[in-house]
Structures are given as structure tokens and as C-alpha cells.
């Protein structure tokens, strides 16, 4: 199984977030789950990569050429794929992955997560989407999604597209219990 990780690149975040990212990287490696991610070397992205590598796992970074030129890439990954831009990067990440795990992050992570949800809603991605809600980081977003649903901008049934967990251990449990293609979400996408 290959899991795409979306995560923060900020190096200024609290230690609890970094600890959870490192723990997840270690658990993924020890579970034999390969990682695909944005290729960054700092923040939660760097912590995931370091932990996967330190525990004998495989990790593929996918980074746009301009980010690589800025020196934002991680050195020492199993593989680094360089793309021409952000859209190609995301498309490659989705294409190489069987599942998505979103850790806390900024607007880039939010954009990646919402695109994953949209793709699954349209039955264009069929793997599990797991949100690691460390310290309740995503509570406001999840509340806003409930607001969208209550005002009929999204179907209630689509809450089944993702799973929210609180710990790295629960990510592994969720990955192991979910199968691809459980639903044909497109059939109920129209409100």
C-alpha cells in the first residue's frame, strides 16, 4: 500500500504536532506502508520523511522544480520526482497513492485535503481519506463542513468519504480496515 501524506511545511509549529508526525512516519514504515508526499524537508513534512527513513521505510517526494531550486526539498529520500508545477505535483501524488492521510497544515494542506474529498465525492479517487486531527486541529473545518451540510451545500452521506482519527496509531488501524471502492459517491453527488 502507498499512502499520500499531506502535512505542514512550517518549522514554527508546536512540538506535539511534530511528535505525532514522527510517530506516524515510524508506524507507517514498520507497517510496510510506503509514503508519497510533497518532498519537503522541514515542518511536519520533514518529520514524516525522517521517521520513515530512520525506520527503514520507503518514501517518495514529489516537488515542483521551483521549490527544489529554493532548497525546500528533503535530501535522502527513496525517490524524488520533480514536476513542472503544483497541479502536476498533486495529480502525481493522487495517481501514485492508494490512500490519503492529512496531518495538520496550512492552506496548501487544506487545498490538497479538500481536493481529495472532492475527487472522492466524484468517484475519481477511491481510496480512504483519513484526517489526523492532532489536538483537535481540524475541529473548526469539520464544524464548517457540518454547516455546509446543514445548508444543503453538501450531502450528509458524503461525511462517509473521510474518517477522522486522533492519534497516529488510529491512522494505521483506519488504513488496515478500509478497502478501496467501498462506495460510488458520484451517484449521490447531485443534490
Which tens digit of pLDDT belongs to each residue from 75-107?
A: 999 999 999 999 999 999 999 999 999 999 999
Is there a domain that residue 113 lies in?
yes
Question: Mind listing the pLDDT tens digit for each residue in 109-131?
Answer: 999 999 999 999 999 999 999 99
Please state the pTM of the whole predicted model: 0.95
Q: Using an 8 Å Cβ cutoff, are 38 and 72 in contact?
A: no
Widest CA span in the chain: 47
Domain with 121, as residue range(s), is 2-136+162-176
Query: What CATH number is given to the structural domain containing 22?
Result: 3.40.50.450
E-only strand ranges, 28-152: 34-37, 59-64, 79-83, 99-102, 129-132
CA separation for the pair 98, 100 (Å, rounded): 7
Domain count, the chain: 1
Amino acid at each position: 500500500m502507498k499512502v499520500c501524506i499531506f502535512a505542514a511545511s512550517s518549522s514554527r509549529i508546536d512540538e506535539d504536532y511534530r511528535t505525532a508526525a514522527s510517530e506516524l512516519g515510524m508506524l507507517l514504515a514498520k507497517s510496510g506502508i510506503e509514503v508519497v508526499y510533497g518532498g519537503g524537508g522541514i515542518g511536519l513534512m520533514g518529520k514524516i520523511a525522517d521517521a520513515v527513513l530512520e525506520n527503514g521505510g520507503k518514501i517518495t517526494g514529489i516537488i515542483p522544480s521551483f521549490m527544489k531550486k529554493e532548497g525546500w526539498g528533503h535530501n535522502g529520500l527513496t525517490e524524488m520526482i520533480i514536476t513542472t508545477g503544483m497541479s502536476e505535483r498533486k495529480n502525481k501524488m493522487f495517481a501514485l497513492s492508494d490512500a490519503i492521510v492529512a496531518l495538520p497544515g496550512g492552506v496548501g494542506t487544506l487545498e490538497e485535503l479538500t481536493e481529495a474529498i472532492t475527487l472522492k465525492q466524484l468517484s475519481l479517487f477511491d481510496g480512504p481519506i483519513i484526517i489526523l486531527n492532532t489536538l483537535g486541529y481540524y475541529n473548526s473545518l469539520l464544524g464548517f463542513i457540518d454547516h455546509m451540510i446543514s445548508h444543503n451545500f453538501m450531502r450528509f452521506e458524503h461525511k462517509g468519504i473521510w474518517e477522522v482519527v486522533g492519534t497516529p496509531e488510529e491512522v494505521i488501524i483506519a488504513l488496515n480496515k478500509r478497502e478501496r471502492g467501498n462506495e460510488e459517491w458520484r451517484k449521490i453527488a447531485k443534490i
